[in-house]
Structure 1
Amino acid sequence: MASDRVTLTVVDPDGEREVVLSSPNKEVWPEPGITKAELAEYFQLVSGPFLEANGNRPVSLQRFRDGIDSEGFFSKNPPKGTPDYVDAVMVTYNSGRKHPQIVLNRPSAIVWAAQMNTIVFHPWASLAGDPDNPVELRIDLDPQPGTDFADAVPAAHALREVLREAGLEAFVKTSGNRGLHVFAPIVPTHEFLDVRHAVIAAGRELERRMPDQVTTNWWKEERGERVFVDFNQANRDRTMAGAYSPRALPAATVATPVHWDELDADLDPVQFTVRSIPRRLEEVGDPWAGRQDSPGRIDTLLEWWERDKANGLGELPFPPEFPKMPGEPPRVQPSKKVAANWDENGNPIED
């Protein structure tokens, strides 16, 4: 009978470490039969590009005690008993609250996360050395009902051109589900709210060029059958699945960096899985290698933001857990809004 606990030897840059893996034969993804041991092996095989994309950043771990069919939960603080090879950094959340957040800097730390039943990794857009200022602009292209991955592809290409006009070079990855994530490296000179405004400016420009295919409408009832530019993913402590992170979906898909020309080759994001990515890296390499070598600036996008604001296009709604923000419109879906119940600043009028 197989042991319910094994010790893995993981090669880190500063030497080998032993990481205990309990329940190695537990099926994390029942449909393809991928076990916890296979997941730990995956992380060792992809640790180089995984850490280049997600390391040295605050990261939230999305954990599932009994595989993808169990209820997931998030770990942000290092849990009790976290080994000393797993780092942490103090971060500030949108509420003003501060606490340490996990940072992954070596392969053994990723394998430890697998031992903790982590499936999805959600890195911040900033580095641990300066968590308040993002090093990348992130735009989530989210196909709405009636659209699919194929609809996100032309939107991504058009967004790439928008960003180039603003002086930024874009990189793309699959979300591991139906959408695409477009990233643009930036110098860390602006805090999250400024970067959010830059994303909104880019999204609005894309929407102008593709009004029938793309929307920046926050309220679902107004989006229609279009691809939604999820600008709120640019907020502090709002994250998306990192590059080479598995997803908690039946096929064990992985959020995968791709070359731009791959999008036009009938690319199917379901082909990128925990089992296929190691071979892909051997054959294709990492499309995001050296991504942060030449970061751009968001100055032009912020000029577009100010231009749009002067033309009456101001702030957009924040997620419900955020404090009320200056200039934000009412947080009520349009079909339920009664104008007399809200003041000019978007605050509810008390009876």
Structure 2
Amino acid sequence: MASPAEELDVDGTPVRLSSPDKVYFPALGDGGSKRTVVEYYRTVATNGALLRAVRDRPTHLQRFPDGVEGEEVYQKRIPARHPDHVETATVRFPSGRTADVLRPVRAADLVWAANLGTITFHPWTCRCPDVDRPDELRLDLDPQPGTDFADARDLALGVVKPLLDELGMVGFPKTSGGRGLHVYLRIAPQWEFLEVRRAGIALAREIVRRSDDRATTAWWKEERGQRIFLDYNQNNRDKTIAAAYSVRATPIATVSTPLTWDEIATAEPDEFTIATVPGLLAERGDPMEAMDEHVADIAPLFEMVERDAADGLGDLPYPPNHPKMPGEPKRVQPSRDADRPR
């Protein structure tokens, strides 16, 4: 028999918790119930940490209504039936179509979404009301086969952080919840997505130059080798990264966790889970809390764009669902490109 529904008080707003004993993370036993996940989200939403990461951002929901071993639902459009307190934002996808998506403005919005089986929140790089100009530039350090978190950490500490220091920019790192690392830059919302994407490509290319062949921007997996892939396309319209303090669909319910640069040096991603992150937050606060105080001047990145263009380095491939763009190279896997020199 399913456990009866309950009503939670989330900063004064009632939110329904249905089937609280349903198992979401089987490997965690009693610690992997739906109640555990929803209560985790109530904690990190009401203390401000998660809400700070997603407030006013168009946000997609990665849902597992029957637990992480069940079917995944990646939901962009907000459910037609939702409480009055839940607000929406209208966004335009690369296809030109529009949709109303979740716009979190209060902790109760996030707890409501968690009750729908949301494990991971995926916010856009922009904030309402201007959803066409990002205020974040995101670096995604994605380990490829043969590399791991330690390689991403070494690249972040040995190349990314010194480069950002040199450019006068403050980067805010977090674990991905898996083997990777993310580094965020707060930027002024005065450029459109394509401009921010090109700035991100220029930054990634400079990291590659300084990486001693440990990093790559190669879009095609067959060309990446045993390197850290800098996923420049994470700065595209409608591309998202798991929000800070989002749970990931791993057996132990890891969390994408903001860390200080000093903490990165000794961190192991499996240390940060729904069981440990609330205590860490209570102990030392949120390293991303000061992010809005450090708006990066990315003019040097646009200078890099021009320098790269003068050297013959133009645009890079877009994701498969993106319309073909002017100046984009052939979107063909190199091994299948009949015109490629052999």
TM-score range, shorter chain: over 0.9
Structure 1 partner of 2:173: 172
- Determine whether 1:32 maps to 2:22: no
Percent of paired sites with the same residue:
49
Deviation at 1:229, TM superposition (A): 0.3
What is the CA deviation profile of residues 158-203 of structure 1, one whole-angstrom value per residue up to 9, with x for unaligned ones?
1122233333210100000000001111011101111111111011
Q: Give the superposed CA RMSD.
A: 1.4
Which residue number in structure 1 is paired with residue 184 of structure 2?
183
What corresponds to 2:307 in structure 1? Answer: 307
1:21 aligns with one of 6, 17, 20: 17
User: Residues 35-85 of structure 1, C-alpha deviation per residue, up to 9 Å, x if partnerless?
Assistant: 111111111111111011111100000111100001211222221211111
Q: CA deviation at 1:94?
A: 1.0
1:337 equivalent in structure 2: 337
Instruction: Give 2:40's aligned residue.
Output: 42
Match of 2:290 in 1: 290
Shift of 1:3: 3.4
Residue 22 of structure 1 deviates from its aligned partner by: 0.9
Runs of 4+ in structure 1 deviating by more than 6 angstroms, as ranges, are none
Q: Please, which runs of 5 or more residues in structure 2 have no aligned partner?
A: none
CA distance in 2, matches of 1:186, 1:232: 17
Calculate the TM-score normalised by the size of structure 1. 0.93
Q: CA deviation at 1:292?
A: 1.2
Q: Provide Cα deviations, 1:75-123, integer angstroms capped at 9, x if missing partner.
A: 2222121111111111111111112111111111111001111001000
1:1-351 aligned within 5 A: 3-11=3-11, 16-33=12-29, 34-47=32-45, 48-157=48-157, 158-265=159-266, 267-339=267-339
TM-score (norm 2): 0.95
1:317-347 Cα offsets, whole Å, 9 max, x none, are: 0000000011111111111111189xxxxxx
SS of 1:300's equivalent in the other structure is helix
Q: Distance in 1 between matches of 2:205 and 2:23?
A: 44
Q: How far does residue 6 in structure 1 lie from its aligned partner after superposition? A: 1.1
Rounded to whole Å, the distance in 2 between the matches of 1:80 and 1:212 is 49
User: Which whole-Å CA distance do the structure 2 matches of 1:163 and 1:301 have between them?
Assistant: 11
Write the distance in 2 (CA, Å) between the matches of 1:106 and 1:171. 23
Give the number of aligned pairs. Answer: 336
Contact kept in structure 2, 1:168 and 1:185, CA below 8 Å: no
Q: Secondary structure at the match of 1:173?
A: strand
Looking at structure 1, the residues matched to 195 and 232 of structure 2 have their Cα atoms a distance apart, in angstroms, of 12
User: Deviation of residue 2 (structure 1)?
Assistant: 7.2
